[in-house]
Amino acid sequence: MAQSEIILTIENVELIEFYGQNDAKLNLVKKAYSDVNIIPRGNQLKLTGDKKRVQECKATLEMMLRMLQEFGELNAQAVQNLLNGENPFESKLKTDSKNIILYGRTGQAIVARTKNQKKIVELSEINDILFAIGPAGTGKTYTAVALAVKALKNNQIRRIILTRPAVEAGENLGFLPGDLKDKIDPYLRPLYDALDDMIMPEKLTNFMTNRIIEVAPLAFMRGRTLDNAFVILDEAQNATEMQLKMFLTRLGPSAKCIITGDLTQIDLPKNQRSGLFRSLRLLDNIEGIGVVYLETGDVVRHRLVKAIINAYEKDEEMQAIRKHERERDAQENEQKNKDENQ
């Protein structure tokens, strides 16, 4: 039998995501290709054995690498399915076709890609108000805008209203060039970006000119009644208690609303409290109001975003532990001093 040796380099992924905890995923491959000697050396795999089997093993490992790069995840079951002869990309296409929200302006399918994004879609159908809470990069705003555009295209609503707080709406805005629209637009740019993906430029311009789609800062909602509309409040963690109450009481009888927010990224001045905490506490059990909490596992941006969020969360936990220890030590010292003075 012709023998072969190949060095396969693993790039652009986290090695632990590829190999698995304690090499669990790699061990599945080793078991399936027991006649091939597989030796991991950092980000390289040395494969030796019968030429045909080495090539088959290499193709499997390359498919695993591609799955991780394109899907952003690679669990043990997916590896086992691959080893059993299943084409992961065909399976993914079938799964995604069930989760398509709409087709974007270039024909690409816009889908709910994670468990909690799918939950947003499901709960938005049965609730008139939905809170989607989670860290950056989890697709909560993008999914909400996609649902609004879908409702508009299906004539379920007459208009879309997208709003978010302009946190620096005080003196800082005054130093930006241009008129009021020019000053506010940078704060609303993420909403425009989502719309640009979903609606042809000419049509989007027409919709905005005729106020079928309106993008405005939260302060502009005061005194209005928002009816026959799909309303999205983005970055709701930067709305004060009064602002959020004002917004929620604007909704007309035929309106639907999604409120997105990230409780870990509050940019309000220290003397102002975020109204999102109170709203979630007060409205949690009201029929017709749903809540979805997204997690780092729902992150669909660059693969490093998930790692960055986890790093910050771990650091915040350590800071909380150290603060608790300092407070405990201070109490113990205070008690010790009292005992000595008695």
Distance of alpha carbon 146 from alpha carbon 108, whole angstroms: 12
Kindly state which CATH superfamily the domain 99-301 is placed in: P-loop containing nucleotide triphosphate hydrolases (3.40.50.300)
DSSP string, 171-203: HHHHTSSSSHHHHHHHHHHHHHHHHHHHS-HHH
List beta partners, residue 222: none
Higher local confidence (pLDDT), 308 or 92: 308
The 3-state DSSP class for residue 101 equals: strand
**Domain 3-92 CATH assignment equals 3.40.50.300:** no
Lowest mean pLDDT among 69-73, 154-158, 302-306, 318-322: 302-306
DSSP string, 7-47: EEE--SS-HHHHH-GGGHHHHHHHHHTTTSEEEEETTEEEE
Q: How far apart are the first and last CA of the chain?
A: 89
Q: Please give the pLDDT value at position 239.
A: 92
Instruction: Give the burial class of 81: count Cβ atoms within 10 A of its Cβ; 0-12 exposed, 13-18 middle, 19 or more buried.
Output: middle
| Phi-psi group of 234: left, alpha or beta (phi > 0 → left; psi -120 to 50 → alpha; rest → beta) | beta
Mean of all residue pLDDT scores within the chain: 84
- With a pLDDT cut of 70, the percent of the chain lying above it is 87
Q: What is the mean pLDDT of residues 122-147?
A: 92
* Cβ count within 10 A of residue 190: 15
Distance of alpha carbon 247 from alpha carbon 163, whole angstroms: 10
Lowest mean pLDDT among 36-40, 73-77, 103-107: 103-107
Q: Please give the pLDDT value at position 211.
A: 92
DSSP letter, residue 226: B
Q: What is the mean pLDDT of residues 277-303?
A: 85
pLDDT tens-digit series, residues 61-102: 998 888 887 766 778 888 888 888 877 666 555 555 567 888
Residue 170 has pLDDT above 50, yes or no: no
* Cβ count within 10 A of residue 181: 10
pLDDT class of 306 with cuts at 50, 70, 90: low
pLDDT class of 169 with cuts at 50, 70, 90: very low
**Among residues 31, 44, 118, 38, which one has the least CA distance to residue 79?**
31
Q: Please give the pLDDT value at position 97.
A: 59
| Phi-psi group of 12: left, alpha or beta (phi > 0 → left; psi -120 to 50 → alpha; rest → beta) | left
Residue 320 has pLDDT above 80, yes or no: no
- With a pLDDT cut of 90, the percent of the chain lying above it is 39
| Phi-psi group of 331: left, alpha or beta (phi > 0 → left; psi -120 to 50 → alpha; rest → beta) | alpha
Q: What is the mean pLDDT of residues 120-125?
A: 93
* Cβ count within 10 A of residue 204: 18
Q: Please give the pLDDT value at position 210.
A: 93
Q: Please give the pLDDT value at position 324.
A: 72
Match 């003196």 to its residue by tokens. 171
pLDDT class of 181 with cuts at 50, 70, 90: low
pLDDT class of 171 with cuts at 50, 70, 90: very low
**Among residues 187, 158, 334, which one has the least CA distance to residue 255?**
158
Which residues, 6 or more positions from 120, have their beta carbon under 8 angstroms from its beta carbon?
A: 112, 130, 132, 140, 143, 144, 147, 258, 292
| Per-residue tokens: 303 | 């693969």
Q: Please give the pLDDT value at position 96.
A: 57
The 3-state DSSP class for residue 251 equals: strand
Residue 145 has pLDDT above 70, yes or no: yes
Q: What is the mean pLDDT of residues 126-147?
A: 92
Q: Please give the pLDDT value at position 114.
A: 84
Question: What are the φ and ψ backbone dihedral angles of 78, each rounded to 5 degrees?
Answer: -65, -40
Evaluate if pTM is beyond 0.75: no
HEC profile for 134-168? CCCCCCHHHHHHHHHHHHHHCCCCCEEEEEECCCC
Which residues, 6 or more positions from 185, have their beta carbon under 8 angstroms from its beta carbon?
A: 192
